[in-house]
Amino acid sequence: MTVAAYVRVSTSDQNLDRQLEGVAEYADRELGVAPDELEYFRDKSTGTDVDRSGYQHLVDAVDAGAVDTVVVLEVSRVARSIADLERTVERFRDAGVELHIVEERLVVRPDEEDPYQRALFQMLGVFAELEAKIKRQNIRQGIAARQANDEYRHGPAPLGFTKDDGRLTEAGDYHRVVEVLEQVARGEMSKRQAAAELGCSRRTVQRAVEERAELDGL
């Protein structure tokens, strides 16, 4: 059996150690595959989709029949949305490949239809949609509040936003900014790393996280 481990971090400043340790421990414990027997696929990317070189190499190996099982630490490492996860699961199933997601305790096997797993995916989809809706509402409310404030009307646009005739709108890098700020808020990235990633000062990052959380739906 050939077991592949896929690990990914969002920025070049983060390291893969926690994920590598987690997937190796799981493969050894649950699959009887030692760490040095795993085939590793790695990505350090700032992208917001799955079009990454390590992921693409993994998919190529899956499609070629060179991999029997794929292990990832978390859903968010292999998919950016529920729809993305469903596409990944179907692709692996079509290739006859098992997918093991460690933290969520999910095992998707190509030769069985598990009603529990299908229900779980549906629940994940509902909660993901609800989370996105709440975040959009928070953003709209935050923008409305800021636009009523002279500081925002006449001052510079907040991180991740731009101004159009004095009105705040999401900038092209908005989703990337939110992803980085969320990692800072969770303690997964330092303000220095975030500032380097976003091309701004640490003070700007600190202000965005601590004072404007509601504007970004954090």
Q: Spell out the domain ranges in the chain.
A: 3-109, 150-216
% the chain with pLDDT above 90? 25
Is 70 exceeded by the pLDDT of residue 145? no
% the chain with pLDDT above 70? 68
Residue 166 in tokens: 């004095």
Prediction pTM value: 0.57
The pLDDT of 165-183, averaged and rounded, is: 75
Can 3-109 and 150-216 be said to share one CATH topology?
no
Architecture of domain 3-109: 3-Layer(aba) Sandwich (3.40)
The CATH T-level fold of domain 150-216 is: Arc Repressor Mutant, subunit A (1.10.10)
Residue 76 in tokens: 């968010």
Which are the contacts of 210, defined by CB distance < 8 A and separation ≥ 6?
none
**Residue 30 pLDDT:** 95
Residue 201 annotated in active site: no
- Active-site residue, from 10, 12, 53, 190: 10
Type of residue at 193: Q
